[in-house]
Amino acid sequence: MATQLAWFRNDLRLADHAALIAAAARGPVAALFVLDDETPGAWRVGAAQRWWLHHSLARLGRSIAEGGGRLILRRGRAGPIVRAVAAELGADVHALLHHEPWAAVQVAEAGAVIPHLGVTLAPPESVLSGTGGRYRIFTPWWKKLLEQMPPPRPRPVPDLRWADVGSIASDDLSQWGLLPTAPDWSGGFSQWQPGEAGAAARLADFARRAARYETARNLPSVEGTSRLSPHLALGEVSPNTAWHVIADAVGETVAEPYLRELGWRDFAANIIDQFPDHGDAPNREAFNRFPFIDDPVGLTAWQHGQTGYPIVDAGMRQLWTTGWMHNRVRMITASFLVKHQLIDWRHGERWFWDCLVDADYGSNAQGWQWVMGSGVDSSPFNRIFAPVGQSAKFDAAAYIRRWVPELAQLPDDAIHAPWEAGVALIRAGVKLGRDYPQPIVNHEAARARALAAWAQVKNA
């Protein structure tokens, strides 16, 4: 039987992997991963996700080695490398279909690739309106997707016979430089367990908490979200698996708020499938004229959690320390950058891309364009999050104390807006401008400025 080459990309698992299952059914299997920073248009994997990728590949490699195989590692332009390895092995190539614009280029350059489904709950092109058109708005798209749900139940690891690839050259993972060198900024990443086993453990943990998801997910001070996003981003668990484990644990009705979030991930794939430049260009033409401010000092203050708004600063410091940020706080911090500071959303998008362990081209672009109001399905620009109001509404006091320890002694009713704390600030021993920054903008003035900028664009 001819050797079959399983080309791994952001699908670093053995279970419920359609390409691997199909390959195993046809012959001995060789496994290949290519770190591609060279295909034109490809977004280079960000620093935080490179840390995750290193550990995920190490764990995948060990799992394959335990079965008698070897994960072939190569670095360079993926298409030609896949083609060359397949020719050397005399192998057919199997791969899951990904939807980033550069993924199609890689497949085209690789030659004859046998495609398989498994990255999304359903292929984006299969969710069509009654007239056969593609959806651009989430709610009707979600209703249509539900007609195909639930997805197929996940399949176990196939019975694998690994091919002898001893003669095939492979890179040493440790030589790829995916891990940070001095200074090592990854100390706070120790909470994560990259890899398929880590994904399974995280999913099992969330299944025990999923019944509380709808009420807890917006509260940054509690463990209310799934924290599965990094594992989904690197494909260490399939969306089908996540769907069925959670639905089985609490029932589809109770699970619906989380299943809807899995749907949002699919919807982002649907959008980039239609608009490949979604990460670089606004979908609404008017935003090409938006009068963004070039403010490197303000951008740095936002990046480093020094805006003077505790909820914003807590989120940005959590991001830097852990490679992850609570979803509600992602919206607050993004809104602050683009509407309070009038800084181009693409600066924020790129910062998130570099700092998030769960960086995903479609979801990241969709999130930023949603906040900006520039996406095909987005929040109106004049929906401007009030950071103090959001912080109080979602009970973020403990979250702020965790990530902005300068303010830890302030009481709950004062910690959201320390510049208004008065005597409480004195009692806490905090001096603004010395121990913690003064607000870099005034909320009401910034809101008025943002609305004036939008009026200028609309009326142009």
Pair (218, 102) in one structural domain:
no
Last residue of a domain, one of 229, 251, 274: 274
Pair (96, 233) in one structural domain:
no
Question: By the 8 A CB rule, do 47 and 354 touch?
Answer: yes
Pair (383, 400) in one structural domain:
yes
The CATH number given to whatever domain includes residue 426 is: 1.10.579.10
Chain segment 359-401, per-residue pLDDT in tens: 999 999 999 999 999 999 999 999 999 999 999 999 999 999 9
Model pLDDT, residue 144: 98
Structural domain span for residue 445: 285-458
Q: How confident is the model at residue 458 (pLDDT cuts 50, 70, 90)?
A: confident
Residue type, 277: D
d(CA 405, CA 407): 5
Pair (259, 238) in one structural domain:
yes
Q: What is the average per-residue pLDDT within 329-340?
A: 98
Chain segment 252-306, per-residue pLDDT in tens: 999 999 999 999 999 999 999 999 999 999 999 999 999 999 999 999 999 999 9
Pair (338, 216) in one structural domain:
no
Pair (290, 374) in one structural domain:
yes
Chain segment 182-241, per-residue pLDDT in tens: 899 999 999 999 999 999 999 999 999 999 999 999 999 999 999 999 999 999 999 999
Total domains in the fold of the chain: 3
The CATH number given to whatever domain includes residue 110 is: 3.40.50.620
Task: Report pTM.
Answer: 0.97
Model pLDDT, residue 50: 98
CA neighbours within 13 Å on the CB side: how many for 375?
A: 28
Last residue of a domain, one of 211, 239, 274: 274
Model pLDDT, residue 460: 64
Model pLDDT, residue 1: 77
> 69 - beta bridge partners?
none
Q: Is the pLDDT of residue 316 over 80?
A: yes
d(CA 384, CA 445): 12
Instruction: State what percent of residues in the chain have pLDDT above 90.
Output: 98
d(CA 301, CA 229): 27
For residue 194, say if its preceding peptide bond is cis, omega within 30 degrees of 0: no
Pair (305, 264) in one structural domain:
no
Pair (55, 133) in one structural domain:
no
Pair (84, 131) in one structural domain:
no
String of b and e for 365-398 (b: at least 16 CB within 10 Å)?
bbbbbbbbbbbbbbbebeebbbbbebbbebebbe
- Full 3-state SS string of 337-363: HHHHCCCCHHHHHHHHHHHCCCCCHHH
Structure tokens at 4: 């079959």
**Residue whose C-alpha is closest to residue 232's, from 245, 241, 222:** 241
Pair (131, 44) in one structural domain:
no
Q: How confident is the model at residue 454 (pLDDT cuts 50, 70, 90)?
A: very high
CA neighbours within 13 Å on the CB side: how many for 13?
A: 29
